[in-house]
Amino acid sequence: MPKNQKKEDELLSCIKCDAHNCAYNDNQRHCVAKEISVGNHFATTSDDTVCETFKQQ
């Protein structure tokens, strides 16, 4: 495993997810997607953002 891969895996394991109906939610509030994309290029608050990686279970 490349040295950077472990670091990337550790960083993603720290992402909390409250979307219980997302396929990437491990049911313990962790996102298990390989990578994520958070959208709304014009966001000014966290309420303006959206997880573009969301996938319905």
pLDDT bin (cut points 50, 70, 90) of residue 2 is: low
Q: How many CB atoms lie within 10 A of CB 19?
A: 16
For 38, the domain range is 1-57
Looking at the structure of the chain, the number of domains it has is 1
Read off the pLDDT of each residue in 21-39 and give the average, rounded to a whole number.
Answer: 92
- CA distance linking residue 39 with residue 37, whole number of Å: 6
**Residues with Cβ within 8 Å of residue 2, at least 6 apart in sequence:** none
The pLDDT, as a whole number, for residue 23 is 95
pLDDT at 14: 84
* Residue showing tokens 């996102």: 31
How far is CA 49 from each of CA 6, 10, 19, rounded to the nearest angstrom? 28, 23, 14
pLDDT at 24 over 70: yes
pTM over 0.75: no
